[in-house]
């Protein structure tokens, strides 16, 4: 579930370990979505954190030895911060100990996330990074870019928003909220969205994601920030998870698209195709 706002919130919490030295590493589970690299201990121990950043839904921790630790939270992963000591709980897979007594634990019940280590200079050559589209909050995401990519697409716009090769960072929760805010039906095909609606869509992408970051992300299943704090953007949902609830003279409808739940208000969208 963690999407761009949850990853951004996690990175803010990780600023506590910036410039700190890694003292020890403990691996409880090597086989996540991908196997944790065998050389991770050698590269991490005695290195210092030089920078912490985000690429799409990936947490990038740059080290002073010209390597980067990549953490993907998958559907249920989270990072936990402790001080001095920890009590191992179920689904704790990797623990990083710092010389200042802080401890970061990677926990992932479903093991759909992964942990990787790579030379920083070669980071963007990793397939899962190289194939990403424009970041959802990047200035490079504009109406001309989207029109060029989707102007002939027979795919519904909801699915386009979830395509990380086109726009990186948006997941299922925020896609419904973004389309509702932009007054665009999730059933509208990419080819039917003219420049005017693409501009509205991009405005709503930035508005919803930035607001979600401000509220610390959304906690509807597994997600909490690294100190255990729940996100609060779910209290601002307009349509997601609100099937049957009234919006003016309309009700929120739930449909399934490509195996994923979509929530929207049929009378609200102003685009050509309305359910």
Please enumerate in sequence order all residues whose Cβ is within 8 A of that of 19, keeping only pairs 6 or more positions apart, or say none: 48, 49, 50
d(C-alpha 226, C-alpha 98), whole Å: 15
Query: Which pLDDT band, with edges at 50, 70 and 90, does 225 fall under?
Result: low
Domain identity same for 138 and 92 = no
Of 89, 104, 130, the last residue of a domain is 130
Q: What pLDDT was estimated at residue 273?
A: 40
Q: What pLDDT was estimated at residue 272?
A: 47
Q: Model confidence over 32-84: pLDDT tens digits?
A: 999 999 999 999 999 999 999 999 999 999 999 999 999 999 988 999 999 88
Tokens at 76, concatenated: 């249920």
Residue 49 within any structural domain of the chain = yes
Residue 272 within any structural domain of the chain = no
The reply to whether 2 belongs to the active site is yes
**Out of 26-30, 157-161, 175-179, 223-227, least confident range:** 223-227
The residue annotated as part of the active site, out of 2, 5, 186, 269, is: 2
The CATH number of the domain holding residue 36 is: 3.20.190.10
- The neighbour count for residue 186, using CB atoms within 10 Å, is 25
**pTM listed for this prediction:** 0.90
First to last CA, the chain: 27
Q: Rounded to the nearest 10 degrees, what angle do helices 4-14 and 195-214 cross at?
A: 40
Q: What pLDDT was estimated at residue 60?
A: 98
Residue of 194, 144, 191, 145 lying closest to 168 (CA atoms): 145
Domain identity same for 106 and 154 = no
| For range 117-141, the mean pLDDT | 97
Residue 163 within any structural domain of the chain = yes
Backbone φ, ψ for residue 251 (5° rounding): -125, 150
Percent share of the chain, pLDDT over 90: 80
The CATH number of the domain holding residue 159 is: 1.10.8.50
Domain identity same for 81 and 197 = no
The reply to whether 3 belongs to the active site is yes
The residue annotated as part of the active site, out of 211, 260, 267, 272, is: 260
Residue 221 has pLDDT above 50, yes or no: yes
Backbone φ, ψ for residue 201 (5° rounding): -60, -45
Of 86, 108, 130, the last residue of a domain is 130
The reply to whether 254 belongs to the active site is no
Domain identity same for 125 and 144 = no
The residue annotated as part of the active site, out of 5, 6, 8, 57, is: 57
Q: What dihedral angle (degrees, nearest 10) is formed by the CA atoms of 263, 187, 202, 131?
A: 100
Give the domain range for residue 117: 4-130
Q: Model confidence over 240-259: pLDDT tens digits?
A: 999 999 998 899 999 999 99
Q: Assign 3-class secondary structure to 139-202.
A: CCCCHHHHHHHHCCCCCEHHHHHHCCCCEECCCHHHHHHHHHHHCCCCCCEHHHCCHHHHHHHH
Domain identity same for 149 and 31 = no
Query: Which pLDDT band, with edges at 50, 70 and 90, does 218 fall under?
Result: confident
d(C-alpha 143, C-alpha 201), whole Å: 9
């Amino acid at each position: 579930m963690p999407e761009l706002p949850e990853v951004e919130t996690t990175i803010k919490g990780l600023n506590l370990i910036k410039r700190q030295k890694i003292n020890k590493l403990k691996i409880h589970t090597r086989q996540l979505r991908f196997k944790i690299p065998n050389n991770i201990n050698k590269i991490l121990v005695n290195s210092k954190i030089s920078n912490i950043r985000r690429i799409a839904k990936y947490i990038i921790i740059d080290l002073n030895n010209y390597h980067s630790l990549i953490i993907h939270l998958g559907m249920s992963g989270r990072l936990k911060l402790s001080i001095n000591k920890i009590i191992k709980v179920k689904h704790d897979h990797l623990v990083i100990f710092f010389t200042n007594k802080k401890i970061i634990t990677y926990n992932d019940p479903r093991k759909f996330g992964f942990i990787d280590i790579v030379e920083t200079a070669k980071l963007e050559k990793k397939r899962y990074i190289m194939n990403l589209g424009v970041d959802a909050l990047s200035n490079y995401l504009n109406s001309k870019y989207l029109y060029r990519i989707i102007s002939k697409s027979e795919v519904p716009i909801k699915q386009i928003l979830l395509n990380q090769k086109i726009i990186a960072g948006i997941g299922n929760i925020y896609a419904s909220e973004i389309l509702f805010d932009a007054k665009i039906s999730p059933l509208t095909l990419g080819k039917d969205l003219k420049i005017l609606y693409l501009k509205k869509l991009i405005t709503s992408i930035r508005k919803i994601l930035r607001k979600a970051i401000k509220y610390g992300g959304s906690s509807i299943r597994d997600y909490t920030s690294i100190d255990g704090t729940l996100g609060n953007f779910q209290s601002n949902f307009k349509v997601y998870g609100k099937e049957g609830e009234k919006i003016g003279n309309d009700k929120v409808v739930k449909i399934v698209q490509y195996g994923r739940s979509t929530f929207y208000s049929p009378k609200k969208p102003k685009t050509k195709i309305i359910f």
